[in-house]
Amino acid sequence: MARAMLEYTKTVLKKVSFDTTLFCKEVQKALTRLLPYEIEELKVFIQSLVQQNPELTQCLIYLKP
């Protein structure tokens, strides 16, 4: 079940990557719902999205420990 939540989160983040504000909100939600090891996976995923969409860089502040 937990794995499904990570995959769902990735799907949502891809779909909202056009809007920086919405993307940041979804990142915050994901950080409260995912397990610690899933958050590490999510960080890698978000880094790849940021490379494709540099305007999302501001959302990286939520990934700092």
> What was the pLDDT predicted at 64?
79
Tens-place pLDDT, residues 48-60: 999 999 999 999 9
| Residue 54 near residue 18, CB atoms below 8 Å | no
Is the residue at 54 inside a domain?
A: yes
Burial class for 9, CB neighbours closer than 10 Å (0-12, 13-18, 19+)? buried
User: For the whole model, what pTM was predicted?
Assistant: 0.88
Is the residue at 6 inside a domain?
A: no
Is the residue at 11 inside a domain?
A: no
Instruction: Give me the tens of pLDDT residue by residue for the chain, a chain 65 residues long.
Output: 668 999 999 999 999 999 999 999 999 999 999 999 999 999 999 999 999 999 999 999 998 76
Is the residue at 28 inside a domain?
A: yes
Is the residue at 30 inside a domain?
A: yes
CA distance 25 to 30: 9
Structural domains in the chain (count): 1
Which domain, by its residues, includes 42? 18-63
